[in-house]
Amino acid sequence: MPGETDLTRLLRTMQPELQPGNYVFCTVASLDGLAVADMVGLFREREGLTVILPQATADRLQLPYSFVAAWLTLMVHSSLEAVGLTAAVARVLAQAGVSCNVVAAYYHDHIFVAATDAHKALGLLQQLAATGEAE
């Protein structure tokens, strides 16, 4: 089933949802000791493997991190070919001084913001959905 590409429809139906818990980005040389079930995300970079983990998992494995994030999921099934959703979300958050890290997966876009900004970011995204206007 293909995802949505119309920006107005994406914004109006994005239904941002705050996932429970705190998450961290760690870099590792190998996946030894990490179970796929522990990972929220994995990306291979030239410098190493970046894993997104629940903070409790990183703490248990004694992995260093410097950013504690909240995880928001845009529940609309967005197409990987959709244009403007990431920009609209990033613009609204940036205007409010909220840093965001966006991960696009097959079905949904996932926004990681500082844990202290979780509810502020959720409210901003809910307002964006209510207006459905990218600007």
- Kind of pairing between the strands at 68-74 and 16-18: antiparallel
Question: Residue 135 — pLDDT band, cuts 50, 70, 90?
Answer: low
Contacts of 8 (CB under 8 A, 6+ apart): 132, 133, 134
Region for residue 21 given its phi and psi (left: phi exceeds 0; alpha: psi -120 to 50; beta: otherwise): left
Domains detected in the chain: 7-131 (3.30.2130.10)
Q: pLDDT of 77-121, one tens digit each? A: 998 888 989 999 999 999 999 999 999 999 999 999 999 999 999
Residue appearing with tokens 């502020």:
120
Q: pLDDT of 37-55, one tens digit each? A: 999 999 999 999 999 999 9
pTM confidence score? 0.93
Q: Which residue has the higher pLDDT, 132 or 56?
A: 56
